[in-house]
Amino acid sequence: MNRATDPPPRLGYIGLGTMGAPMARRLLDWPGGLVVCDSRPAATADFAAAGATVADTPAEVAAAASIISVTVLDDAQVDEVITGADGILRTARPGTVVAVHSTIADSTAVDLAQRCRAHDVELVDAPVSGGVPGAKQGRLAVLVGGTDTAFAAVDAPLRRWADLVVHTGPVGSGTRMKLARNLVHFVAFTAATEAARLAEESGLDLRKLGEVVRHSDAVTGGPGAILWRDSTAPLTPGDPWLPIMAHVRDLGAKDLALALRLGERLGVELPLAQLSSRHLAAGLGLAVTGTTDIERNTA
């Protein structure tokens, strides 16, 4: 919507899978109406019963809707939905905005945006974070890469199913932020499996360990708690972050050293802990010269 007096646009949603369906459900009462499309007729049945229009192809969606969300599996499917023989670009009117919520390559998003632009259509890469629970609860984070105009157009519909909408910059930046965010996610998962091996060899209840981790992360913010700086550059004297990060480093030095000693005693390999012992200080922006505190503690 460009002006307060404009009627609300009609929305389209393509891809009603595990993520897409709960996201699209929150658009059923959108005042401009909703058009949905999925390759599986069973996926659209509930939407039709709730009053949504069902389209057989993405081209039919684009003929009716001016803001279209796409939640399909991968780069190839996104490309087919947008540029295929029955794709969005076959019928999309100038000014249409396509929001791709699938996690694809940033280069794919940039390329598709260029191809859309040739049709006077705007594309934003808008991947989401929060998984199926976030989709069902309407509590996803959505990371939007695109022009200011395109972001303004999609902002209100996205807020129907996301409680955090971030404009990350130009097309491609949404995907890059999603990949950085998921780097934290899956490296942390790998660290959790390493911790589980150490706990298991120590005779501990893994479910209780999980309970403790989830509880403390909810309180402290987990790994994201240190992601408040504007830069990864080394900290300098007088920077207010210096004492905070030094405190984190010192705690990490002590606790990693103790965990590594325990792992050595139990015969448990802890490769991520070893990497952390070498890289934590520098990652926190603290200059490292010679032997680090952690290496001294584990010697």
In sequence order, the 6+-apart residues with CB closer than 8 A to the CB of 222 are 188
Q: Nearest CA to 163 among 122, 125, 133? A: 133
Same domain, 64 and 129: yes
Q: Is residue 181 part of a domain?
A: no
Options 136, 178, 208, 254, the catalytic residue: 178
CATH of the domain at 253: 1.10.1040.10
* Contact by Cβ (8 Å): 234, 223: no
Mean pLDDT of 28-44: 97
pLDDT of residue 191: 97
Number of domains in the chain: 2
Distances (CA, A) of 233 to 113, 230, 241, 263, 286: 32, 9, 12, 33, 9
pLDDT of residue 6: 78
Strand pairing class (67-70; 128-129): unpaired
- Cα 101 from Cα 96, distance rounded (Å): 16
Q: What share of the chain is helix, strand, coil (3-state, %, to 5)?
A: 55, 15, 35
- Cα 216 from Cα 195, distance rounded (Å): 15
Same domain, 122 and 254: no
Same domain, 254 and 143: no
Same domain, 24 and 169: yes
| pLDDT (tens digit per residue) in 110-132 | 999 999 999 999 999 999 999 99
Same domain, 135 and 59: yes
Same domain, 162 and 235: no
Same domain, 157 and 21: yes
Computed over its alpha carbons, how large is the radius of gyration of the chain? 24
Same domain, 150 and 297: no
* Contact by Cβ (8 Å): 102, 136: no
Q: Is residue 265 part of a domain?
A: yes
Q: Is residue 222 part of a domain?
A: no
Same domain, 21 and 150: yes
Same domain, 133 and 278: no
Tell me: pLDDT of 294 over 50.
no
Same domain, 37 and 168: yes
The last residue of a domain, from among 153, 176, 199: 176
* Contact by Cβ (8 Å): 33, 56: no
- Cα 119 from Cα 69, distance rounded (Å): 18
Tell me: pLDDT of 192 over 70.
yes
The residue range of the domain holding 290 is: 228-299
Active site residue 136: no
pLDDT of residue 40: 94
Mean pLDDT of 129-157: 97
- DSSP letter at 87? S
CATH of the domain at 106: 3.40.50.720
Same domain, 66 and 152: yes
Mean pLDDT of 92-120: 98
Say what the pTM is: 0.89
- For all residues of the chain together, what is the average pLDDT? 94
